[in-house]
Amino acid sequence: AQKVTQAQTEISVVEKEDVTLDCVYETRDTTYYLFWYKQPPSGELVFLIRRNSFDEQNEISGRYSWNFQKSTSSFNFTITASQVVDSAVYFCALSEVRGTGFQKLVFGTGTRLLVSP
Amino acid sequence: ETGVTQTPRHLVMGMTNKKSLKCEQHLGHNAMYWYKQSAKKPLELMFVYSLEERVENNSVPSRFSPECPNSSHLFLHLHTLQPEDSALYLCASSQGGTGVIQETQYFGPGTRLLVL
């Protein structure tokens, strides 16, 4: 069965520190997609990134970067020079192959990031 | 700007009440989803509609009844709920209709439900 593990329940950092959120996944599929979402206190899950299983290049978007390593089944997320506005719960998710006309996401339990001034 | 809206944002109801949650997407998508988010639990997929047809009912109790009158609107009708149903209910949409796994789901802000 598909599974996503985010072992870090909560991380606290001081502003301007770098922080890495870990995500480890399990799947038997050769083709799959991985996602990161951010959930601020307002509740809405905000899409951050999607990565397919055939693309192992790291990606950088501003202060955000993602490290995808198939060999260790990990898709880690790093925030450089963290800011208070980065405080949120971050979810990693894995897309399952379904033949019934829709996509199913398997979510991890999330990592709460607290950035203090 | 948000492509997926949900109303109400907060709801308190008694166990004998009947209420409905509404979701609307403005993204031209064909698939819509209801999720339940309880404290310290992973997001639970409840229902999925693709092209206005229910394609997934993830063993959800019958006191939750979804309705999808068109591809832009999704409702979750609630009746005789239990206190353990208190949670954040999230709606999402994706391009849908083809079952492709690379779709991105876009979420609304959720309805925070408290059952007394």
DSSP letter (8 states) at residue B62: T
Give the C-alpha separation, A107 to A114, whole Å.
Answer: 20
Instruction: Tell me how far CA of residue B12 lies from CA of B6, B21, B22, B65, in angstroms.
Output: 15, 12, 15, 18
pLDDT by residue (tens digit) across B90-103? 999 998 766 577 78
Whether A103 shows a pLDDT value over 80: the answer reads: no
Q: What pLDDT is stored for residue A25 in this prediction?
A: 97
Distance from CA of A83 to the nearest CA of B (A): 22
Q: What is the residue whose two structure tokens read 């979420």?
A: B107
Interface test mutation site (partner B, options A49, A51, A103, A111, max chain B beta carbons within 10 A) = A103
pLDDT at position A46 is: 95
Instruction: Please give, one letter per residue, the 3-state secondary structure of chain A.
Output: CCEEECCCCEEEEECCCCEEECCEEECCCCCCEEEEEEECCCCCCEEEEEEECCCCCCEEECCEEEEEEHHHCEEEEEECCCCHHHCEEEEEEEEECCCCCCCEEEECCCEEEEEEC
| pLDDT given for residue A58 in this prediction | 85
Burial of B77-109, coded b for 16+ CB within 10 Å and e otherwise, reads ebeebeeebbbbbbbbbbbbeebbbebbbbbbb
CB of A64 within 8 Å of any CB in chain B?
A: no
The Cα A44–Cα B73 span in angstroms is 18
Q: Give tens-digit pLDDT for A12-41.
A: 999 999 999 999 999 988 888 999 999 999
Q: Are B110 and B9 in contact (CB under 8 A)?
A: yes
10 Å Cβ neighbour count for A4? 23
Q: What is the pLDDT of residue B110?
A: 96
CA atoms of A23 and A9, how far apart (whole Å): 11
Mean pLDDT of B61-90: 95
In angstroms, rounded to a whole number, what is the distance separating the alpha carbons of residues B20 and A51?
35
What are A35-86's pLDDT values in tens digits? 999 999 988 999 999 998 888 888 888 999 999 999 999 999 999 999 999 9
User: Measured between beta carbons, which residues in chain B are less than 8 angstroms from residue A91?
Assistant: 43
pLDDT at B67 over 60: yes
pLDDT score, position B69: 94
Sign of the dihedral through C-alpha B29, B33, B38, B40: negative
- What CA–CA distance (Å, rounded) separates A76 from A15? 20
Question: Nearest CB to B107: which of A45, A106, A109?
Answer: A45
